[in-house]
C-alpha cells in the first residue's frame, strides 16, 4: 500500500492513531489536501519568527514579514487569520530569543529504528545547543501538556527527542493575551518520562502501519480492513464524500 519512498513521520503516525481511514486516503491513495488558512497562520508566523531571531528584526519588521508570508501562502485570499500572524510571530520571536542563538531551523533528520523497515523522517523547528523548540500557533494556549489536546504535539516532540538526543519544548503563542496567559505565550519543557511514553505510542503506530501495508498490497485492499470514519478534524466534507466512493 505504501509507496517505495514513504518514510515514517510524526504527522503520519498521529494521523493513523486518530483516523486510520484518513491515513489510507492520504498515504495509500496519495490524496493530499491543500493548506488552509489556519495551517498558513502557523507557517507564516513561524517563518517570520525565524526571520526575526536570525536577522534580529524589530517587532514591526517581524509583523510585516508574517503578514507578507501569509499573503503569499494564501495567494491573496484574506481571512481572519491574517490579523493574527503578526502578534503570534512577535511572541514566538520574544520567547525564542531567551534560548540564545539557534543552531538551525527546519533541520532534516532521517533515522532508522531496529523494529521498523522504513526510515523515520523529521524536521525540527528551532534547534539550540541544548534544546529543540517546536512552535505552535494557536488561538488559545493550553494550560498544560498532559491532556488529549496536546498529546499529538507531545508525540511529535518525542520523535525529535529521539532524533537529536536533546531535551525538547513546545512553544505555544496566541494573538491576544489573557489572564491565564499574560505574556500571550507559554513554553513547556517536556519531561523525559512523558516523552518516553509518547515515543512508545508513536513507535507502536508505525509498526502497525507497516503491518497494514504488508497485509494490504494496495489502498483498495486496505479499505476492506479499515472502515471509513468521518469523525475528527482530519476529514473535510469534500474529501470524505470522494473517499466514501472508494470505500464503497
Overall average pLDDT of the 71-94 stretch: 96
Burial annotation 223-240 (CB, 10 A radius, 16+ → b, else e) = beebebebeeebbeeebb
3-state SS class at 145: coil
Q: Are residues 48 and 170 in the same domain?
A: no
pLDDT at 74 over 90: yes
Residues of the chain with pLDDT > 70: what percent? Answer: 100
Residues 71 and 122 in one domain: no
5 & 84 share domain? no
Q: In this structure, are 93 and 145 located in the same domain?
A: no
Position 21 in a domain: yes
Note whether 202 and 86 are same-domain residues: no
Same-domain check for residues 58 and 165: no
Sign of CA dihedral 193, 195, 47, 237: negative
**Tens-digit pLDDT profile for residues 84-104:** 999 999 999 999 999 999 999
Distance CA 155, CA 161 (A): 10
Tens of pLDDT, residues 126-178: 999 999 999 999 999 999 999 999 999 999 999 999 999 999 999 999 999 98
* Separation between Cα atoms, residue 71 and residue 49, nearest integer Å: 16
SS3 169: strand
Are 46 and 130 found together in one domain? no
**244 lies in some domain:** no
Q: Give the residue from 56, 80, 98 where a domain finishes.
A: 98
Q: Do 192 and 118 share a domain, yes or no? A: yes
Whether residue 182 sits in one domain with residue 77: no
- Alpha-carbon distance of 147 to 149, in angstroms, equals 6
**End position of a domain, from candidates 98, 123, 146:** 98
Domain with 148, as residue range(s), is 1-29+101-226
- Same-domain status, 76 and 165: no
Q: How far apart are CA 127 and CA 134, in angstroms?
A: 9
Domain count along the chain:
2
pLDDT digit string (tens) for 177-213? Answer: 988 899 999 999 999 999 999 999 999 999 999 999 9
SS3 140: coil
Are 94 and 118 in a shared domain?
Answer: no
CA torsion 105-160-119-234 (nearest 10°) is -90
- Say what the pLDDT of residue 232 is: 80
**Is residue 237 scored above 90 in pLDDT?**
no
Residue 11 has pLDDT above 90, yes or no: yes
Cα gap 70→80, rounded to integer Å: 11
Residues 94 and 203 in one domain: no
Question: In terms of DSSP bridges, do strands 168-173 and 185-189 run parallel, antiparallel, or are they unpaired?
Answer: antiparallel
Q: Could you tell me which residues are beta bridge partners of residue 122?
A: 109
Q: What is the CATH number of the domain that holds 2?
A: 3.90.320
Amino acid at each position: 500500500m505504501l509507496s517505495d519512498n514513504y518514510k515514517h513521520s510524526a504527522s503520519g503516525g498521529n494521523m493513523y492513531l486518530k483516523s486510520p481511514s484518513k491515513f489510507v486516503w492520504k498515504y495509500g491513495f496519495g490524496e493530499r489536501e491543500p493548506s488552509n488558512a489556519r495551517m498558513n497562520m502557523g507557517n507564516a508566523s513561524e517563518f517570520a519568527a525565524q526571520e526575526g531571531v536570525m536577522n534580529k528584526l524589530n517587532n514591526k519588521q517581524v509583523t510585516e514579514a508574517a503578514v507578507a508570508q501569509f499573503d503569499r501562502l494564501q495567494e491573496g485570499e484574506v481571512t481572519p487569520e491574517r490579523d493574527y500572524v503578526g502578534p503570534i510571530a512577535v511572541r514566538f520571536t520574544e520567547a525564542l530569543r531567551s534560548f540564545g542563538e539557534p543552531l538551525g531551523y527546519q533541520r532534516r533528520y532521517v533515522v532508522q529504528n531496529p523494529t521498523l523497515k522504513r526510515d523515520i523522517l523529521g524536521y525540527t523547528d528551532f534547534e539550540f545547543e541544548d534544546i529543540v523548540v517546536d512552535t505552535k500557533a494557536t488561538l488559545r494556549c493550553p494550560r498544560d501538556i498532559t491532556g488529549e489536546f496536546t498529546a499529538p504535539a507531545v508525540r511529535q516532540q518525542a520523535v525529535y527527542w529521539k532524533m537529536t538526543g536533546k531535551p525538547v519544548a513546545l512553544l505555544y503563542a496566541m494573538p491576544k493575551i489573557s489572564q491565564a496567559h499574560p505574556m500571550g505565550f507559554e513554553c513547556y519543557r517536556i519531561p523525559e518520562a512523558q516523552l518516553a511514553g509518547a515515543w512508545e505510542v508513536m513507535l507502536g503506530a508505525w509498526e502497525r502501519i507497516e503491518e497494514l501495508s504488508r497485509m494490504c498490497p494496495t489502498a483498495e485492499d486496505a479499505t476492506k480492513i479499515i472502515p471509513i470514519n468521518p469523525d475528527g478534524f482530519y476529514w473535510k466534507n469534500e474529501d470524505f464524500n470522494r473517499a466514501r466512493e472508494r470505500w464503497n
